[in-house]
């Protein structure tokens, strides 16, 4: 765990070495604010809550996380630094966890940056903080699941643009299977299953402020599944 934390620290500080980092976070923040005030017309609704913020999280986070993770392994592969990592006596699991924790911290920073929003709302009217806190916890877990997907995809290719597109594709698919536009094609039973598998539909109750253990478990298992796939992808490198 010590090693994973060290890797996480290096990854986290390394991320801010490039101006792209600020661009990603800035863009995420800008889009979030745009959606909140214009698309969801916060002032016209005349309700002091931040539900629209969390309703859009499942989609907005996809783009942020895909941008954050695209370099994770593809850059190490391209530059050859993967060889120094895999020939050091560190378990691949530690490497994967390290990168993952750094990603979680970055998503945490991005979410923290949206915090002025609920604070402003609280100043304007009586805001119920329960759902807001629940929403942030849920968003972090959702982001963690996307991070695991992004990291796995990045371990498959040397090309970070390809990793970005693949991550978008997989995450959007995971989100899309739970949307009404998609579940409408199926019978009620299949639709129910799809709803329980979609990252967005799972977030509905969280956005409403209801934290269900099953939802949390869903995100955690999705995360663990893709993290293990990343470990597998790194191990498989030895046989190629």
Partner 1 sequence: MIQVEHLTRRYGELTAVDDVSFHIGQGEVVGLLGHNGAGKTTIMKMLTGFLEPTAGFIRVDNLRIGEDTRAIQNRIGYLPENCPLYPEMTVIDYLDYQAGLHGVPEYKRAPSVARAIRRTALREKASDTIQTLSRGYRQRVGVAQAILHEPAIVILDEPTNGLDPTQILHMRELIRELAQESTVIVSTHILQEVQAICERVLILRAGRLVLDSRLDALQSGRRLLVSVDGDATAALARVDGVEAVEERGRANGRFTYALAANDEAAPAVAAALQAAGRKLYVLQPEPHDLETVFAEVNAIESAAEVAHG
User: What does the binding site for partner 1 look like in residue numbers (CB under 8 A)?
Assistant: 3, 6-7, 10, 14, 17-18, 79-91, 237-240
For partner 1, the closer of residues 83 and 212 by Cβ is 83
Q: How far is the CB of 239 from partner 1 (least distance, A)?
A: 5
Question: Residues 6 or more apart from 86 whose CB is under 8 A from it?
Answer: 92, 95, 234, 237, 238
Q: How far is the CB of 34 from partner 1 (least distance, A)?
A: 31
Asked if 116 contacts 38 with a C-beta cutoff of 8 angstroms, the reply is: no
For partner 1, the closer of residues 185 and 239 by Cβ is 239
Helices (H), the chain: 2-15, 19-34, 42-45, 51-69, 74-79, 81-86, 92-113, 116-124, 129-154, 160-176, 180-183, 188-197, 201-208, 213-236
Q: How far is the CB of 39 from partner 1 (least distance, A)?
A: 37
Which residue, chain included where needed, has tokens 């498959």? 156
For partner 1, the closer of residues 43 and 239 by Cβ is 239
Q: How far is CA 197 from the centre of its chain?
A: 16
Asked if 74 contacts 154 with a C-beta cutoff of 8 angstroms, the reply is: yes
For partner 1, the closer of residues 44 and 240 by Cβ is 240
Alpha carbons within 13 A on the beta-carbon side of 11: 27
**Two tokens at 54?**
């969390």
Q: How far is the CB of 166 from partner 1 (least distance, A)?
A: 24
Q: How far is the CB of 93 from partner 1 (least distance, A)?
A: 12
For partner 1, the closer of residues 1 and 123 by Cβ is 1
Residue 89 three-state SS: coil
For partner 1, the closer of residues 18 and 41 by Cβ is 18
Q: How far is the CB of 101 from partner 1 (least distance, A)?
A: 15
């Amino acid at each position: 765990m010590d090693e994973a934390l060290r890797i996480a620290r290096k990854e986290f500080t390394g991320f801010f070495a490039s101006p792209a980092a600020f661009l990603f976070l800035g863009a995420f923040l800008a889009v979030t604010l745009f959606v909140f005030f214009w698309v969801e017309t916060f002032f016209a609704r005349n309700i002091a809550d931040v539900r629209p913020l969390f309703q859009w999280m499942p989609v907005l986070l996809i783009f942020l996380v895909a941008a954050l993770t695209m370099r994770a392994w593809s850059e190490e592969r391209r530059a050859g630094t993967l060889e120094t990592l895999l020939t050091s006596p560190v378990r691949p699991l530690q490497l994967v966890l390290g990168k993952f924790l750094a990603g979680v911290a970055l998503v945490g920073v991005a979410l923290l940056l949206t915090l002025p929003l609920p604070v402003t709302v609280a100043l304007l009217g009586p805001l119920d903080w329960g759902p807001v806190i629940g929403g942030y916890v849920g968003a972090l877990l959702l982001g963690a699941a996307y991070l695991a997907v992004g990291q796995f995809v990045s371990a498959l290719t040397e090309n970070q643009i390809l990793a970005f597109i693949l991550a978008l594709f997989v995450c959007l698919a995971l989100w899309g299977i739970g949307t009404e536009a998609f579940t409408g094609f199926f019978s009620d039973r299949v639709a129910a299953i799809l709803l329980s598998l979609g990252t967005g539909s799972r977030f509905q109750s969280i956005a409403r402020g209801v934290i269900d253990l099953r939802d949390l478990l869903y995100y955690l298992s999705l995360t663990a599944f893709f993290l293990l796939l990343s470990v597998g992808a790194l191990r498989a490198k030895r046989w190629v």
